[in-house]
Structure 1
Amino acid sequence: MPLSDIQVRNLKPGPKARRVSDGGGLFLEIKPHGSKLWRMAYRFDGKQKLLSFGAYPAVSLAQARERRDNAKSVLATGTDPSALRKAEKEAHAATNLHTFEIIGAELIDKKTREGLAETTLKKKRWLIGIANVDLGKMPIATIAPSDVLVPLRKVEALGNYETAKRLRTTIGEVFRYAIATARADNDPTFGLRGALIAPTVTHMAAATTSDAFCQLVRAIWEYEGGAPSTRAALKLMALLYTRPGELRLAYWDEFDLDKKIWTIPASRMKMRREHTKPLSKPTLDILKQLKHETGSATRVFPSMIVNDRPISENTMNQALRRMGFDKHEHTSHGFRASASSLLNESGKWNRDAIEAEIAHKGADQVRNAYHRATYWDERVKMADWWAGEILQWLTR
């Protein structure tokens, strides 16, 4: 006989647990300590099973009956309601466990293990940190394009259009990693292309004519300010034209001065592959003198301020400013553009050999690797020629 609300309310506990049926498999279990729990008994696949619907009075009689009826509807389809409930709980837990913040941290860990340069990792951590303020605690599968726009608009409102663009790209990386690991179905940043204000493209300032570069190298070789490591770094930037981080973060064990080779590890290369540079005689002379001046330091360009730290990129740029070159004339990044322009302008060298020496990050990775090996002899001659040109500019 079905229960009434009054009966349920007045049921008292006894010395042992007891069950009072409401019909259709639903019953109320009264524990000796007084709790009243809704249960449903049913059979599935020849086995007796139980479903729990919660405690009375948090779950009323009417609510318990509604849950019983829903379970019976599931049974009618040939599905075990206990298994269905377990799957739903697991899905709900997984959805709430896989937040943007957690998956972003996983992506950074993956990139770290893959050997991504620390400078790049630092930027990605910073950008993901910006996104975490608004998206971090949200289950990644529930994040919509409108949610992603919130942190993007905040950055854009500050006038940081390039940062907003990079933030959208980095958020997209997190979503694509989530898709690859089966925790999201789509990347909402894809639909936001064109939604942000396009940043003005600015190129790194560089002296790209022979007259301008001549003035620059003469100023560098005549410069007497700063530490020996700073002066040497600027000279080597002119001779080797690497990315600033590839040079200033160098260790002595990367250099084989006898074989005249510098091997830059993949972890510091933008293209994520080891890169070898030929060393001209003027370059070797600077390195040997610097080694004598820095003594037992493991870093080639040790900071004079912080122990076991290299000089900063800002240190090189500040030195250029003191020489009279403002940020619109030349920066430490500009040496690559200077060398690329003047080497190509000379007409003496194969364009692919120049690209291989500069280590541009091209789309055709196999072709680039082939050319770095194929043009090694030409690159050695080019390094000597380039050093000779610099020595000639110094005497103009």
Structure 2
Amino acid sequence: MPKLATPLTDIQVRNAKPKDKTYTLADGNGMYLEVMPTGKKRWRMAYRQPNGKNNRLTFGEYPLVSLADARDKCLAARKLLKGGIDPAKDREEKKRAANTLASNTFEVIAREWHKKKAESAWQPQTAEQNIKAMERDLFPQIGRLPISEIETPLMLEVLQQVEKRGALEVTKRIAALASGIFKYAIVKGFRNYDPIPALKDHLKPRAKGHHASIVVAELPDLLKAISKNEGRMYPPNRIGLRLMLLTFVRTSELIETPWSEIDLKNEQWVIPWQRMKMGAKRINPRMVDHHPFLPRQGWELLRELHQYTGGSKYLFPNRRDHEKPLSNGMILQALKRMGYGGRMTGHGFRSLAKGVLKTLKYPVDRIERQLSHASGEVYGGAYDREDFLQERKEMMQHYADYLEQIERGNVIIASFGKTAA
């Protein structure tokens, strides 16, 4: 038991003067005021640890810590001791926990999660897009906050800020990224739940449907618009738009094509499986090369394009750096200038072509193979075997000739509905 002492008064504490040596003024319960020769005064407490050893605590300097505050701290320490807890160790553990809390901010955990995903699941381009999205829409708002303290209302506010830009698709992606980060934090033991699922009914729904695409009945007007605007386009842009119309490839698969994949002499184009959407998957990629098949009109366009960009690595090189491909936005910008912004996309050409070929009575499975939608599990190693190639070549030539006849006004298209790609 600590020795009994007459409690101090505020006046005694305030008037305590420094001496040649440090001295103390007892307050009781082991607490005392330590007065140093420099004039500094600090509150301390002597106590016996649960293991029987003597120890001391410091509560802070006077007057920053008043007599009443020091007594409160002393009382709290005594309660811990009564429960068999060393107040000094308790203080150190809380300090470590606070440091851990401060170091495990949302941004720190997010970057750690991003690094692991980039190494195991994402392609480099996806990883770059995701970190840029987080740096734009998450880190400025919540990056410095301890991840354990971020609650659902705050995440609603963050995501609604993205919504206000009208970027509903981006809002969905940001929410998915945040959810992945929170789930990673749960596994690491930094929080107990993911706040994102609760926001489902409180965010604006995306417009349902596929990538914007006109219906088959609108094809003649699109062809007229392309022809009318070709004189205003750079030759590679004009050719790129035409090739998107004539092929079933995705925008990135065309724009990122190197000339090394094109055999103009033998009219062969084979896209390595690594560049295909399903081949780029980290888990269970479809390791089958794809044969797009260009009709006669397509090969004529490629030979023309070779006059402009044949000296570059890519069919559509970046104007600033010919070692990089042009942005996928080229197709969207061309469509926007023709008045098709929001109505048609590069992916929409795939949907449109699928609809046209259905009107021409081609089997769905043949169309799907040309779209590279066929599953490797369904078709196995025979997916692009020789016995499938000829019929697809004939189909693509028929399709191109049909477009040509429409553009010349020799074919009248009835009103068909939109076909999803």
Identify the TM-score tier after normalising by the shorter chain.
0.7 to 0.9
Q: How far does the alpha carbon of each residue in 1:213-272 deviate from its partner, in whole angstroms, 9 at most, with x for none?
A: 89749957x95653443244334434542332333234445x374884212646977963
CA contact (8 A) 1:51 1:82 kept: yes
* Secondary structure class of the residue paired with 1:49: strand
Change (3 A) 1:158 1:391: closer
Q: How many residues align?
A: 388
Amino acid at match of 1:29: E
Say which SS state the counterpart of residue 34 (structure 2) adopts: strand
Q: Which residue pairs with 2:411 in the alignment?
A: none
Q: Please state how far the C-alpha of 1:3 moved relative to its aligned partner.
A: 4.3
- Structure 2 regions of 5+ residues with no counterpart? 406-421
The equivalent of 1:44 in structure 2 is 50
Query: Which of 227, 245, 249 is the equivalent residue of 1:242?
Result: 249
The answer to whether 1:60 aligns with 2:66 is yes
Distance of 2:380 and 2:224 partners within structure 1 = 27
Superposed displacement of residue 302, structure 1:
0.9
Alpha-carbon distance in 2 for matches of 1:153, 1:211? 36
Provide structure 1 residue ranges, at least 5 long, that are not aligned to the other structure: none
CA shift digits 1:366-393 (9 cap, x unpaired): x656646442326645652443223432
* Pair 1:316-2:368 in alignment: no
Partner of 1:201: 208
One-letter identity of the residue aligned with 1:375: Y
Q: Deviations over 1:75-115 (max 9, x none)?
A: 22222222221221222222233333443444444444454
Give the corresponding residue for 2:345.
331
Match of 1:272 among 275, 281, 291: 281
Aligned pair in 2 of structure 1 residues 373, 215: CA closer, same or farther (>3 Å)? Answer: farther
Match of 1:233?
A: 240
**C-alpha distance in 1, partners of 2:167/2:331?**
25
C-alpha separation in 1, matches of 2:398 and 2:101: 62
Show CA shifts across 1:103-140 (max 9, x none). 34444444444544536743663365234444333322
SS of 1:317 mapped into structure 2: helix
- Distance in 1, Cα, partners of 2:222 & 2:353: 14
Give the TM-score taking structure 1 as reference length.
0.78
Alpha-carbon distance, 1:147 to partner: 1.6
Structural RMSD (CA): 4.1
Corresponding letter in the other structure for 1:247: L
- Alpha-carbon distance change, 217 to 247 in structure 1, aligned in 2, over 3 angstroms: farther
Out of 68, 75, 78, which is 1:69 matched to?
A: 75
Structure 1 residue identity aligned to 2:43: W
Is 1:237–1:335's contact at 8 Å kept on the other side of the alignment?
yes
State the AA in 2 paired with 1:173: G
What percentage of aligned pairs have identical amino acids?
28
Is the counterpart of residue 375 in structure 1 residue 383 in structure 2?
yes
> Could you list the per-position Cα deviations for residues 274-305 of structure 1 after superposition, in whole angstroms to 9, with x for gaps in the alignment?
66322436567755664554244223311346
Instruction: Report if aligned partners of 1:172, 1:189 keep a CA contact under 8 Å in 2.
Output: yes
Instruction: Tell me the TM-score normalised to structure 2 length.
Output: 0.74
The CA deviation at 1:194 is 0.8
Q: Is the 8 A contact 1:26 1:40 kept in 2?
A: yes
- Point out the more displaced range, 241-250 or 183-192: 241-250
Code of the residue aligned with 1:187 in structure 2: it is D
Aligned to 1:95: 101
Q: Secondary structure at the match of 2:271?
A: strand
Q: 1:263 to 1:16 in 2, by over 3 A?
A: farther
Q: Can you list the C-alpha shifts for 1:53-94, whole angstroms capped at 9, x where unaligned?
A: 111221223322222221122122222222221221222222
- Maintained 8 Å contact 1:156/1:197: yes
Q: 1:292 to 1:49 in 2, by over 3 A?
A: farther
- Aligned mate of 1:176, from 183, 187, 210: 183
- 3-state SS, counterpart of residue 52 of structure 1: strand
**How do residues 140-151 of structure 1 correspond to structure 2 at under 5 angstroms?**
140-151=147-158
- Whether the aligned pair in 1 keeps the contact of 2:246 and 2:294 (CA below 8 Å) is no
Q: Distance in 2 between matches of 1:267 and 1:84?
A: 57
Alpha carbons 1:134, 1:150 under 8 Å: kept: no
Q: CA deviation at 1:334?
A: 0.9
Q: Is the 8 A contact 1:349 1:382 kept in 2?
A: no
- For the 8 Å contact 1:115–1:266, the answer to whether it is kept is no
Amino acid of the residue matched to residue 336 of structure 1?
Answer: R
